[in-house]
Structure 1
């Protein structure tokens, strides 16, 4: 079976789609689909414009931001990140988010990988970049963003994961990518 046929093997064809909610960042729709066995089911789908995250390395430290995350009802330490504006190139968004949230600029951003954050119910794709050769400028977060900026070592990042100060997928993935980078000298696509 070819790769194309393999992808079609489990395809669910949309019969109808009902918009439920249209927000500033996300929308929600309920699709009725035909299953591969001929049955039908409903799928609740969150549509998202996509996002970027930046593993910003300053010598032997990683730049992170701490901010309150309302869905979790607690503060989290995360890599600088943000959503894509309509039609925005992910690399340009990564440059923008790094500077807005931390004040840092980089002359060297490299794509590490892109991944879907929650494919069971959302189409959000996150593009992860690594930034090196950082120069400090002035942070300019959005009006509704309240952040503390910190530079942490790999060991501190691993402890933050153990203590759940870091518990989001993009930051955990960035920490493991950084660890691999330190071990192999390679990160992202060649």
Structure 2
């Protein structure tokens, strides 16, 4: 291990996150402070039906603007089944339920400062069932785009959410592997 923790103290806590400050020593003997945000696991969901991608637009306080992204979020509790979480977030934010949830992988959201895993799911066989947003999600707007429109939004900067971009990358790799497996048969 190249960094050793000498001490750790919690600086702040709320229902969504914990902030700690760790006194560290690097392998070269240099000491320092490392700030870490601890958050529970979350999920990002790619709702895809035929050529239609379902997206959420919402105001993101940290950047003070509305953002377009795939549905995503967490439940602020440990030991939640990732698929249950993904199904719940899909329903809360889009009002859709999925016949099939395909696990595409796990990502660390921003491990330079936060310890939070994000599970990536492809949701298909979508059926409207009514939304159930959290109070903080009162301003969510459901939008749809064709795959070509969605990819153009990724390229032209309309969509700047790293989790959405990464989820699409995992999906494209998964889809390519599926096509290769079929071709090999």
Q: Answer yes or no: same fold by TM over 0.5.
A: yes
Partner of 2:155: 162
Partner of 1:88: 80
CA pair 184-61 structure 1, distance change in 2 beyond 3 A: farther
Residues 1-190 of structure 1 mapped to structure 2, 5 A cutoff = 8=1, 10=2, 12-86=3-77, 87-145=79-137, 146-181=139-174, 183-185=176-178
User: What is the TM-score of this pair, normalised by structure 1?
Assistant: 0.86
Aligned equivalents of 2:112 and 2:174: distance in 1?
Answer: 30
Cα RMSD of the aligned pairs, angstroms, is 1.6
Aligned equivalents of 1:15 and 1:181: distance in 2?
Answer: 42
CA pair 38-181 structure 1, distance change in 2 beyond 3 A: closer
Report the number of matched residues: 177
> Helix, strand or coil for the counterpart of 1:144?
helix
**Residues 84 and 90 in structure 1, CA contact (< 8 A), matched pair in contact too:** no
Pairwise CA distance, 1:29: 1.0
Aligned equivalents of 1:59 and 1:78: distance in 2?
Answer: 19
Higher mean displacement: 149-158 or 98-107? 149-158
Gap regions ≥5 residues in structure 1: 1-7
Cα deviations by residue, 1:141-176 (Å, 9 ceiling, x for unpaired)? 112211111221121112222332211111112223
